[in-house]
Structure 1
Amino acid sequence: MQRQESARSSAKRAQIQQGATRVFLREGFAGATTDAIAKAAGVSKQTLYVYYRDKEQLMVDVLTSLLTELNRDQAALAGSRPVDSLPELRAALADLASNVLEAVCRTDYLALTRVIIADSPKVPAIGRLWAKTITGGVRSVVADQLEQARRVGVIQVDDVQVATRLFVGGVLTYVLPDGIVAAGGTVNPPSAEQIDELVDMFLRAIT
């Protein structure tokens, strides 16, 4: 009996999250009302408050779920192949940039980023979630790859963290001005040739 109740409760929570996701990504935190969330989720306000004590808790739960989905490939990135030569490092960085840009150029990721930027002053907990996004998590992957390459003499850098920010920052210029703050709100990933050129220019600077 308990198992059935838990399954029913989990399904109802997921239903509320789905409705709230649509409202939060459309309206942001300030613009989202509990009435609108309840309507989008197909539940009463009383049911809404059974599962979430307030709008802040619901928003944090929604964003956590979205980030978990967006970061599902993070473990694969972290376990990327060794980079013991310049060609290996070049291929690893190009693949990483391509995968990250494909993910962050998604409409839901851009909408999520706008919500975090706009509402983190009002809800500090969602600001802390920013470090868990693909763009935050990928820095550790790039840093690991560059550190491997530095140890075996493939690259010559004094500060791997600075080099990491240089590379990741270059990649994200395709997203920040063109998608997050763009009027249209959408962005197409750069071509494979553009990514290759970015990687080559970066490597020329650190080798």
Structure 2
Amino acid sequence: MSEATAILRTGRKFDQVLQGARSVFMADGFEGASVDDIARAAGVSKATLYSYFPDKRLLFMEVAQNECCRMAENVVSMVDDTKPAREVLTIAATQLAAFLVSDFAQQVFRICVAEQDRFPELGRAFYEAGPQNGTRQLAEYLQKAVNKGELVIEDLQFAAEQFSELCKVRLWPRSTFGIQSSFSEAEIEEVALQAVDMFMARYGA
């Protein structure tokens, strides 16, 4: 990344552009989101918007990556490696399950699927920032738990992906197919606890 690019990606207006774009993409989808609407929502000129992102696809990818990184950082900040593995995994499962059925995650997923033939890079960007980044960080934690003798895992990456899939049970298909649009804390917690129970039954030392 060049110094000029790094400068352009900082500052109040850059944050305004991301927030404005996020709100418009959420409301109108990728195809329906216009540059005029994004600039208006961000409170900047079109020239300013284009100085940051000359392509709407780049802006969408930045919004998706920024949100996924924010979510990952939030989970990491809540994790205490000194706590028992079950406690740490329960926090991770609860946060992940809630994120997966959030309006943002569901909208981005739909956009990526709808645009995958024309713009496959959108899906790749979201996958790398979201699922791939999340399982990588989880695998790093699992390694620490293995080193402490709390878990017994041979394939850390595979186990991390299994854990993520367990957090989707019931919630993800109902949300994705429009069967249910909102979920209570109790529903999310139940799935999270069940996910951890099954994971620990398989990998607990």
Alpha-carbon separation, structure 2, partners of 1:121 and 1:11: 34
Tell me by how many angstroms 1:177 deviates: 0.7
Aligned residues: 195
Equivalent runs, 1:142-157 vs 2, <5 Å: 142-151=138-147, 153-157=149-153
When residues 195 and 184 of structure 1 are mapped into structure 2, their CA distance, relative to the original with a 3 A threshold, is closer
When residues 30 and 203 of structure 1 are mapped into structure 2, their CA distance, relative to the original with a 3 A threshold, is same
Tell me by how many angstroms 1:175 deviates: 4.0
Q: CA RMSD in A?
A: 3.3
1:175-201: CA deviation from partner (whole Å, max 9, x where unpaired): 421223325543345354543333222
Tell me by how many angstroms 1:171 deviates: 0.8
When residues 33 and 186 of structure 1 are mapped into structure 2, their CA distance, relative to the original with a 3 A threshold, is same
Match of 1:161 in 2: 157
Match of 1:3 in 2: none
Gap regions ≥5 residues in structure 1: 1-5
Tell me by how many angstroms 1:55 deviates: 1.9
Match of 2:203 in 1: 206
Contact 1:130 1:136 in 2 (8 A): yes
Alpha-carbon separation, structure 2, partners of 1:121 and 1:80: 41
Alpha-carbon separation, structure 1, partners of 2:203 and 2:94: 20
Contact 1:23 1:32 in 2 (8 A): yes
Contact 1:178 1:187 in 2 (8 A): no
Contact 1:104 1:110 in 2 (8 A): yes
Q: Which amino acid aligns with 2:17?
A: I
Tell me by how many angstroms 1:66 deviates: 2.7
Alpha-carbon separation, structure 2, partners of 1:123 and 1:165: 25
Find the residue that maps to 2:87 and give its secondary structure.
helix
Find the residue that maps to 1:187 and give its secondary structure.
coil
Alpha-carbon separation, structure 1, partners of 2:145 and 2:43: 53
Tell me by how many angstroms 1:169 deviates: 0.8
When residues 46 and 167 of structure 1 are mapped into structure 2, their CA distance, relative to the original with a 3 A threshold, is closer
Match of 1:97 in 2: 93
Q: Give the fraction of aligned pairs with identical amino acids, expressed as a percent.
A: 25
Equivalent runs, 1:11-160 vs 2, <5 Å: 11-76=12-77, 80-82=80-82, 88-126=84-122, 127-133=124-130, 135-151=131-147, 153-160=149-156
When residues 186 and 128 of structure 1 are mapped into structure 2, their CA distance, relative to the original with a 3 A threshold, is same
Q: Which amino acid aligns with 1:166?
A: Q
When residues 155 and 45 of structure 1 are mapped into structure 2, their CA distance, relative to the original with a 3 A threshold, is closer
When residues 76 and 121 of structure 1 are mapped into structure 2, their CA distance, relative to the original with a 3 A threshold, is farther
Q: TM-score, length-normalised on structure 1?
A: 0.71
Tell me by how many angstroms 1:139 deviates: 1.7
When residues 196 and 44 of structure 1 are mapped into structure 2, their CA distance, relative to the original with a 3 A threshold, is closer
